[in-house]
Amino acid sequence: MLRKERAAYIQNRLQQLYPETPIPLDHKDPYTLLIAVLLSAQCTDVRVNQITPLLFVRADTPRDMVKLSVEEIKEIIRPCGLSPMKSKGIAGLSQILLDEHGGQVPADIKALEALPAVGHKTASVVMAQAFGVPAFPVDTHIHRLAQRWGLTSGKNVAQTERDLKRLFPESRWNDLHLQIIFYGREYCTAHGCDGRVCQICRSVYPDRKHAKKTQKA
């Protein structure tokens, strides 16, 4: 298969498997989604969904969040890992939202990336899932699958994101981001598939004889 043929097959197969793409992080508005995505760095969505109710019962708006000390936030979110950095980021971005954005999460990727502890991937997720703006957030899992499927030769997530955006129509970016994640968790896991095991890997590379070595993001 050519790369475009692989992309077309993958897009169709993922749509068959996952016609619905529910957002895996529990939230009620752009602010609570932003906090949940920030907490999900190096943490499972399941764990984040267990911790955010404990945090949001105390503070689910920037105005309430800045009333908590960094230490209080850190203690609540400790099970999510990286709590010193994440707690400072949550406190800092909440203050900036109040000072510079009227307490609202801006629907602007550059403004989001300027917030403490908010990188490009987090900002892209918020743009896609909170505001419906086409984005293709690439995490280490999508980076790995895109390499296994021959959709990119990307040495980092930035290059992989550019390649995926060129391959797939913009109208499908937001759904595909989640569909690839869902498929990776269910079928093409880091240790459960080496590029020769799952259905999509076997279909797009039926003659592959050796495990696909992927470059880390």
The reply to whether 207 belongs to the active site is: no
Whole-angstrom distance, CA of residue 89 vs CA of residue 91: 5
Whole-angstrom distance, CA of residue 17 vs CA of residue 14: 5
Q: Contact, 208 vs 198, CB < 8 A? A: no
The reply to whether 26 belongs to the active site is: no
| Selected catalytic residue, list 121, 155, 194, 213 | 121
| Selected catalytic residue, list 60, 139, 163, 175 | 139
**What is the sign of the dihedral through the CA atoms of 193, 197, 201 and 207?**
positive
| Pick from 204, 211, 206, 215: nearest CA to 11 | 204
Whole-angstrom distance, CA of residue 174 vs CA of residue 133: 8
Which tokens in the block code for residue 52?
A: 């955010």
Catalytic residues: 121, 139
